[in-house]
Amino acid sequence: MKALTFRIELARLAFAKVFGMISPRAYVSGFGAVQCEKVDEPKPHGDDWVMVKPTLAGICGSDVMQVFLEAAADNPLSAVVSAPHVMGHEVVGVVVDVGSAVKKVARDDRVAISPWLPCAVRGLAACEACERGDYALCSNFFDGKIERGMHLGNCRDVGGGFAEAMSLHESMLFPIPEGVSFDDAVLADPFAVALHAVLRAPPVKSETVVVWGCGSLGLMTVQLLSVLFPGVTILAVDHKRRLQPLLEKLGATKLFTTRGRELIAEMGDYMKAPIRKPFFGLPWLQTGVDKIYDTVGAPSTLEVGVRICKPRASIVMVGVARPRRFEWTPLYFKEISLLGSNAYGMETLEGRRAHGIEIYLDLLDKRRLALDGIVTHRFPLEKFPEAFMAVYDKRRSGAVKVLFQP
Amino acid sequence: MRGVRFDMSYPRLAAARVAGFFSTNGFVASFGPIGLREMPDPKLIADDWVSVTPTVTGVCGSDVKQIFLDADVDNPLRTLISFPHVLGHEVAARVVEVGPRVRRVKVGDRVAVSPWLPCEVRGLPPCERCKSGDLSLCDNFTRGSFAPGIHAGNCRDVPGGYSDRMIAHESMCFPIPDGVTDEEAALSDPFSVALHAIRKAPPKPGETALVYGCGPLGLLTIHALARLYPDVRIIAVDLHGYLEPFAREMGAHDYVIGAGAELIEKIAGLVSARVESVAMALPWVTGGVDRIYDTVGIAETLETAVRLIKPLGTVLLVGVGTPRRYEWTPIFFREISVIGSNAYGIEDFDTGRMHGFTHYLELCASKRLDPTKMVTHRFPLEAYREAFVTARDKLRHASVKVVFTQSSK
């Protein structure tokens, strides 16, 4: 079958890094780490495994970081990855074959896929985190009957959705209700990530929150805040002015397109918060917003973030940018809580406890979400250089969510 | 009166930087920003102020950072302070004069002085923060009846305790109970900082708490945990072995020397966590400790802390190191909470809802706390250079808490 594979081979990585300095296209060239190639059909790892034919698979920001080799050399997650692997972890598809012990789905079912590979998938008894439903915090990503890897798209033994076929444990599958399209369902993973992040520090009525970064994760955050937390003022921050109409539709109160000093000044005006201007360094606000959902997680967003929130505010760090120094004094002085948020698992919303993906599909089924305009591009697998370049250079391509149609 | 004053003059700063390059003593040379200067006695700012003579004043790590020019230029707290100022904010003192409207204390009283300068001290109606008792989060550090400043020791108009004379609003004065020494009382400020940080994420019985750094703040955190939170295993961590007897005396169960990968492996061994090694980078652990109180707060300690804490665990950032890059991926991946803690205010504790100083002084009076063994060096005000260098070159002098002992003049 055809699949996009990622190989950790010194020669390929070196080639991509060197020529990538000249043009980013080198990363997606024939000599880069990612290739479209023929590989063996995946095999089930037990009689509770299911064969799925992917119909749509979204490109995640973390895929782009991987393809363009943007991770820092000291990133500890390199320990939880096995290669080569088939990429792609935001996937919907159709069940084509089921093992003898499978109960949850049947042949021809349309399914959304949770890409995580915790205890249940590995044939292990549930660890403490899995027992609580915190699958992304599982302590066994190194163990069990499949190779190390935290989710599809970074595990050698369980290939991702940028492929013509996948073999998955039944616990990873969530049937898509009849009235819900593949086009909407394929956003299940970023929605669940956004929901989990918001639930780390849910806004209280009439609070003012910032959603930082308006990629698919940020847009999902805006939409779910406006639908599930009415009365909250939602300030979106992204330098892409063209997102204004889409953000308005999704429920953002206002879009800020500046950064750094200008952004702090604009936020100060908007929040009517006195601004303090040091001789060196960035100004800061004495009070400010109640919560920040930072889907970028970069030093620059954190440095400004701790300056525009009020004392005792929470900043949820859901983005995964490369670490650098930032001036963090207000974190202690304003007693800010910086809360990490990783993916999703079992979530409690409106009194119901269910998997994040189930919650999403249910909200879609009840027509509570309106997500038109988030998916902007679709490509076949062979066109992967164009697809990754579209995400890499969003300014030129106008991309928000880019999909593969395997 | 005399006072150890910090003059914000660029020539003096530059001179101290150059001289400090050659010797630690260079930072405290006579041409630098710091010096024991003669100045007029401060006047009471209003009818509800008092005048006191400091008897014991502790040297705080933040003073040492300031004197040895350790801050980054982009530190935003500069917007909240005013120069020149007399340093010193961990003060025990004797009341020598009271304004006509003072009720709380009288001449001759021994008091611990809370240095913070929030609304009430500034003659302002309380802001929302002050109303809820969060005095160090006050909105008004730059307003009111005198110059900007967050606490005595960085405000032009309210000299700190490295002096013969201070003024204080009566709300800053906490009478010292009989049986509690001035030296004990001078630890009210750092103890309250430690208690406040613990209160933000208190350990549950059976948990393991790691205290990073065994300077005075770390030792007081250990002491508070050991005496006030039974059934918590306390692991103390520092780079230097000479602090081990102090940490054990304060109540630490384990003392671990080290940093980086070596430290991670040692702690993992202590708590039976699995070490996950990473090529070319620091390892991290599966499992780990429940809470970390980071009283150092620099890039190295944070990088290690986020690798040692359990998933969903809390790292309390109490120390105020200069910011640098650190690899922070575990914060998101393991859903860690990094929570900042600033000073203290009105605190809830099982002894009631009171100012941190009141908690401390009562706990000392009832002998539930006894932290004074950490005071290792005492100097008269004239020996301020030696005092600061002793606090700075900890290893050479085996110093922990350095204090000024001042005769009341």
For B242, list phi and psi in degrees, rounded to 5. Answer: -65, -15
Q: What is the pLDDT of residue B72?
A: 85
State the Cα–Cα distance between residues A334 and B141, nearest whole angstrom: 13
Put simply, whether A72 touches B (Cβ < 8 Å) is yes
Q: What pLDDT was estimated at residue A172?
A: 98
Closest alpha carbon to A170 in A89, A52, A86, A347: A52
In contact, A326 and A303? CB cutoff 8 Å: yes
Burial A158-172 (b: 16+ CB within 10 A, else e): bbbbbbebbbbbbbb
Q: Give, as one character, the DSSP assignment of residue B84.
A: S
- Residues 6 or more apart in contact with residue B299 via CB below 8 angstroms: A325, B321, B323, B324, B325, B326
Q: Which residues in chain B have Cβ-Cβ distances shorter than 8 Å to A329?
A: 75-77, 320, 323
**Inter-chain contact A278–B307, Cβ cutoff 8 Å?**
no
Cα–Cα distance measured from residue B116 to residue B153, given in angstroms and rounded to the nearest whole number: 9
pLDDT(A345) > 60: yes
Helix A188-200 to helix A216-228 angle (10° resolution) is 60
In this structure, the number of other CB atoms found within 10 A of the CB of residue A242 comes to 12
Would the pLDDT of B23 be above 60?
A: yes
- B:317-376 residues touching chain A, CB 8 A cutoff: 317-318, 320, 323-342
Using pLDDT thresholds of 50, 70 and 90, give the confidence band for residue A31: confident
Of B282, B284, B332, the CB nearest to A342: B332
| Residue A224 neighbours by CB under 8 Å, 6+ apart | A191, A194, A195, A198, A369
Q: Return d(Cα B52, Cα B151) in angstroms, integer.
A: 16
Determine the distance in angstroms separating the CA of A166 from the nearest CA of chain B, rounded to an integer.
Answer: 26
Q: What is the CA radius of gyration of chain A?
A: 21
Question: Given a cut of 70, is residue A35 above it in pLDDT?
Answer: yes
Residue with tokens 């972890």: A89
Among the listed residues B158, B179, B65, B63, the one whose alpha carbon sits nearest the alpha carbon of residue B114:
B158
Measured at the alpha carbon of residue A229, what is the angle toward residues A225 and A234, in degrees to the nearest 5? 50
Beta strands A352-355; A275-276: pairing state: unpaired
pLDDT at residue number B409: 44
End-to-end alpha-carbon separation of chain B, Å? Answer: 9
Write the residue in A129, A318, A338 that is nearest to B338 by C-beta. A338
Enter the DSSP assignment of B329. Answer: H
For residues A331-356, give the mean pLDDT. 97
> Is A81 touching B (CB cutoff 8 A)?
no
Which pLDDT score is estimated for A11?
Answer: 84
**8 Å CB contact of A76 and B277:** no
Mean pLDDT across chain A? 95
**SS3 category, A19:** helix
Question: Are B76 and A341 within 8 A, CB to CB?
Answer: no
Tell me the β-bridge partners of A58: A90, A403
Condensed to tens digits (0 to 9), the pLDDT of residues B301-331 reads 999 999 999 999 999 999 788 899 999 999 9
**What confidence score (pLDDT) does residue B71 get?**
82
pLDDT tens digit sequence for B90-111: 999 999 999 999 999 999 999 9
Token representation of residue B368: 């539930």
Share of chain A above pLDDT 70, in %: 100
For residue A24, the surrounding DSSP H or E stretch is none
- What is the C-alpha to C-alpha distance for residues B349 and B353, in angstroms, rounded to an integer? 6
Cβ-based neighbours of A374, under 8 Å, separated by 6 or more: A187, A216, A219, A220, A246, A400, A401
Q: Which of A77, A329, A336 sits opposite B77 (nearest CB)?
A: A329
The B residues from 141 to 170 touching A (CB cutoff 8 Å) are 142
- Count of beta carbons in the 10 Å neighbourhood of residue B387: 25
For residue A326, the chain B residues in CB contact (below 8 A) are 323
Distance CA A308, CA A297 (A): 15
Q: Give the confidence band of A79 by pLDDT, cuts at 50, 70, 90.
A: confident
Q: How far is residue A132's CA from residue B28's CA, in Å, rounded to a whole number?
A: 56
* Higher-scoring residue by pLDDT: A145, B409: A145
Q: For chain B, how are helix, strand and coil distributed in percent, rounded to 5?
A: 35, 25, 40
Question: In the structure encoding, which two tokens stand for residue A373, read together?
Answer: 């305009």
pLDDT at B281 exceeding the cut of 80 = yes
Residues 285-304 (A) with a CB less than 8 A from some CB of B: 286-287, 297, 299
pLDDT at B142 over 90: yes
Which helix (H) or strand (E) segment holds residue A222: the answer is: helix A216-228
Quickly state the pLDDT bin for B360 (edges 50, 70, 90). Answer: very high
Backbone phi and psi for residue B270, each to the nearest 5 degrees, phi listed first? -65, -40
Contact B137 A334 (CB under 8 A): yes
- pTM for the model: 0.95
Of B54, B64, B136, B50, the closest CA to residue B91 belongs to: B54
CB pairs under 8 A between A and B: 163
pLDDT single digits (tens) A171-198? 999 999 999 999 999 999 999 999 999 9
Query: In a mutagenesis test of the B interface, which of A335, A337, A341 is the best target, namely the one with the most B β-carbons within 10 Å?
Result: A335
Beta bridge partners, B37, equal B3
Scanning the structure block, which residue is given the tokens 């004065």?
Answer: B173
Three-state DSSP state, A345: coil
